Structure 1
Amino acid sequence: MARKARIWFPGAIYHITARGNRRDSIFHDFHDYQSYMGLIGSCKQDFPFFIHAYCLMPNHIHLLLETKEEPPGNIIKFIHSRYAIYFNKRYELTGHVFQGRYHPKLINSNDYFLKASRYIHLNPVEAKMTSKPEHYFWSSYSNYMDGSEEKSILETSRVLSLFQEPCRKKYCTYVEQIEKRI
């Protein structure tokens, strides 16, 4: 049976998630996280896209990804196939690293776009890995707080454009508000 075609058009924005096979860890140490981030940067050279927010959890990933001229499947295939080769070689394993296909949720409004970014940034807090989102190292939240761009991997301007000045402060207040998650 053929897979159902996924909706895609240039400029489409997705909240992308992918989980480790059998919910196993896909990141064991700093080098693993750094390798995944490096693959995002390498992929951007071949398939330009924007990352508006990210969070790499020990057994899954969240990306708020905006396509340009390539569908998200090409982007995720580039990153995940190379990461799986790296991971299996490093840990002397075989087989799947990720559980099934990645999951893209099409973002169809500014409200949903902001809620997805907040959800991504609060993921480590909800998982009780940290009490504040800025304390989790493998998330883009601290970049929003301090204004640093992570080696051109992260694009903060679209999120921040949805807030009035001081937009960084207002975005952080929005993220840290206690509200039911999406």
Structure 2
Amino acid sequence: MGFHGKDLRRGRHSATGQIYFVTTVTHRRERLFSHWTGAIAVARVIHLFTGLTSARIHAWVLMPDHLHCLIELGDVSLNQCMQQLKSRTAIALNRSTGRSGTVWQSGFHDHALRREEDLKATARYLVANPLRAGLVRSLRDYPFWNAVWL
């Protein structure tokens, strides 16, 4: 018996002040962020997102077909936060590229960080994804990431 998105959401609990490592994937794993125009439009939304909601993005990296981020919740649930982020980034991508249609798969994967987990070490791991994927030799050469500690 397979699992479906709603099965993954059962038992998910959102807590104000909790930090989550979140991954969300593009629809059909399309490499929508391989092109500068769309990727920069989405990166701008991610950069501004903290000012638009009570959630705070501590670190993020936009890969060709997915997004990783560290999100600290404010007074919204994780589901609400991700719905807002995915909606705003989808609108920006479609407007900037002249495309239409679905950008993100439904659902997302999340991991609530425990107190003993080192936030900065987790952020370093997250933003190093382009290196591990072989997209660049140096993180300085990859433009679509950020962390609040810079």
Q: Give TM class, smaller chain.
A: 0.7 to 0.9
The two structures have a TM-score, normalised by structure 1, of: 0.67
Residue 54 to residue 7, structure 1, CA distance change in 2 (3 Å): same
CA positional deviation for 1:112 = 4.8
Query: Are 2:114 and 1:108 aligned?
Result: yes
The 5 A counterparts of 1:66-105 are 66-89=72-95, 90-94=97-101, 96-105=102-111
The 5 A counterparts of 1:22-171 are 22-89=28-95, 90-94=97-101, 96-140=102-146, 154-156=147-149
The runs of 5 or more residues in structure 2 that have no matched partner are 1-5
For 1:32 and 1:5, the matched residues in 2 are separated by 34
Q: Which moved more, 1:56-65 or 1:127-136?
A: 127-136
Larger Rg over CA atoms: 1
CA positional deviation for 1:5 = 4.2
CA positional deviation for 1:50 = 2.2
For 2:39 and 2:94, the matched residues in 1 are separated by 14
For 1:155 and 1:128, the matched residues in 2 are separated by 24
The CA RMSD measured in Å over matched residues stands at 2.4
The runs of 5 or more residues in structure 1 that have no matched partner are 141-153, 157-167, 169-182
Residue 10 to residue 124, structure 1, CA distance change in 2 (3 Å): same
Q: Could you say which structure has the greater relative contact order, defined with CA pairs below 8 angstroms and 6 or more residues apart?
A: 2
For 2:131 and 2:44, the matched residues in 1 are separated by 25
CA positional deviation for 1:73 = 1.9
